[in-house]
Amino acid sequence: MLESLRPFTWMVAAVAAWSIGLLVLGFLGLGGRVGPHPANPALAPPIPELRLSENAQRLGAPSEYLAVGERPLFMPDRRPAPVAVAATEQQAPFEGVLTSVLLTDTLRMAIFSENNGAISKRVRLGDTIPGTSWRVATLEPRRAVLEGPEGQRALDLRVFNGQGGQPPTAVAVPPPPPPPNPVAQAAPGVAPANPPSLVQQASALNADAQRAADDQAQIDAIRARIEARRAQLREQQEKNANAPVAEQ
């Protein structure tokens, strides 16, 4: 049996000796000097030479492409779209009023209202009001200056003029309370010690009437001040509307 295993033993010993020798050569520097081949321009393939030649212009004269505009490819009838409607819309007059002005470090915008508040348009400073040819040129806390085909136009912030809406609710003055009746307040079957005379009752009625007259006079004075303030606001708005605007 030992004789049959001897060739296998010699083969294993040979492989082990070869591995040990290769390990020793690795420690001694085997393969440490392997590197890329030095650069040799002669081994590189030659670069083809690029030659440029002048060719005839591919695009023709602009007059050769007039049919492209006269017969658009993507129109069903191969006819240009009409532009008269768009031009008329841009020249539409502006009949709105200035309702708000926003002035911040990053935003300067005006809000206009048309058709009695049915349409609201927000326009930044320098932009054109949609649907018109008017541009917002200047913004102030209570005024906006527009520039358009007719020159400049100033719009003041809309202020309530006291017209329209519902009238104020009338203040009802309560009737003066009836004078106390000592006879009715006294216990039944007990007569008052000192019943009030007619003069005292009349004095009490006069005092109550005077207080009611003073309250009514105060209410009338407050209403008069409110009406005077409304008249002042209407007069100021009319002056601002009639003031001429300087044209640049």
What is the DSSP secondary-structure string of 91-106? Answer: T-----EEEEEEE-SS
Look at residue 163 in the predicted model and tell me its pLDDT: 60
Count of C-beta atoms within a 10 Å radius of residue 110:
25
Average pLDDT over residues 63-81: 81
The enclosing H or E element of 89 equals helix 84-90
Tell me the pTM. Answer: 0.33
Considering only CA atoms, which of 243, 89, 224, 29 is closest in space to residue 153?
A: 243
Cβ atoms of 92 and 132 within 8 Å: the answer is yes
- Position 121 pLDDT exceeds 70: yes
Which residue carries 């083809």 as its tokens?
A: 48
Q: CA-to-CA distance for 157 and 101, rounded, in angstroms?
A: 8
Distance CA 87, CA 80 (A): 15
Under 8 Å between Cβ of 120 and 113: yes
Number of Cβ within a 10 Å radius of residue 241: 10
How would residue 22 be classed by pLDDT, with cut points 50, 70 and 90? confident
Tally helices (H) and strands (E) across the chain: 5, 6
pLDDT tens digits for range 149-184: 888 888 888 776 656 555 656 666 666 666 655 544
* DSSP secondary structure letter of residue 50: P
Q: Look at residue 247 and tell me whether its pLDDT is greater than 80.
A: no
Q: Which residue has the higher pLDDT, 40 or 168?
A: 40
- Residue 63: pLDDT over 60: yes
* Residue 245 scores a pLDDT above 70: no
User: What local confidence, expressed as pLDDT, does residue 87 receive?
Assistant: 46
Residues 88, 132: Cα–Cα separation, whole Å: 9
Cα dist from 109 to 65, 132, 163, 170, 197, whole Å: 44, 17, 28, 40, 75
Please name the residues in contact with 215: beta carbons below 8 A apart, sequence gap of 6 or more.
173
